[in-house]
Amino acid sequence: MATKVGKQKKYFMAIIPPSPVYEDSKVMQEYFNEQYASKAALNSPPHITLHMPFLWNEEKERKLIDKLLLFSRRFDPIKVCLDNFGSFPPRVIFINVTESDALYMLQKDLHRFFKMELDVFNANYKEQPFHPHLTLAFRDLKKGAYAEAWKEFLNKEFKAEFMADAISLLKHNGRTWDVLKEFTLQSSYSTETKPTLKTTEG
């Protein structure tokens, strides 16, 4: 990908949950900020990462969007199930996303698409198997606070499900991440028949 360094911006791909999961996740991220002084997760909308941040020439943004529009038309919406909490010691706490074949194939095909169609590579992917999750606290969560927070959330219950009928392209504005474009998953799905969302927390 031949680009001018000065015109490169950071982007990433994710699933952004709908209401009420979005609001529930936001409340928990705010809780981590207030109780454990971890606010980094608030720099982006609640999301499930599909492709880690990458650099792209901002002047070629239209090409990126057009390509992703074509990609999204290959896929049906995916049922996403959230099941309690998990962690990556010593700093990350998240809502666990139940792994599914459909979600795995979407992420795998998206990575292949970025490599083959857009010439975008992330060298560390070979060392990081896909573990879908929705982050609540991460890099600025101090080790001591992590231990205390994980003790609180280890046995806490949270269950929810939703239909992911779109994937989103996010762009860094210099301080935080904004949704630049949403791409509907519309292979053979009627948007008139969406199941009721369910959430439980305790």
pTM score, whole prediction: 0.88
In a domain, residue 183? The reply is yes
Q: How far apart are CA 201 and CA 105, in angstroms?
A: 29
Does the structure show a pLDDT above 60 at 53?
yes
Range(s) of the domain holding residue 82? 8-201
In a domain, residue 49? The reply is yes
**pLDDT tens-digit series, residues 170-196:** 999 999 999 999 999 987 544 444 444
Binned at pLDDT 50, 70 and 90, residue 82 comes out as: very high
pLDDT at residue 191 in the model? 43
Looking at the structure of the chain, the number of domains it has is 1
In a domain, residue 1? The reply is no
In a domain, residue 78? The reply is yes
In a domain, residue 119? The reply is yes
In a domain, residue 159? The reply is yes
| CATH code where residue 105 lies | 3.90.1140.10
In a domain, residue 100? The reply is yes
In a domain, residue 165? The reply is yes
Strand order in the sheet with 133-137: 177-184, 166-172, 8-15, 48-57, 133-137, 92-97, 78-88, 158-164, 198-201
**pLDDT tens-digit series, residues 118-153:** 999 865 555 568 999 999 999 999 999 999 999 999
Binned at pLDDT 50, 70 and 90, residue 163 comes out as: very high
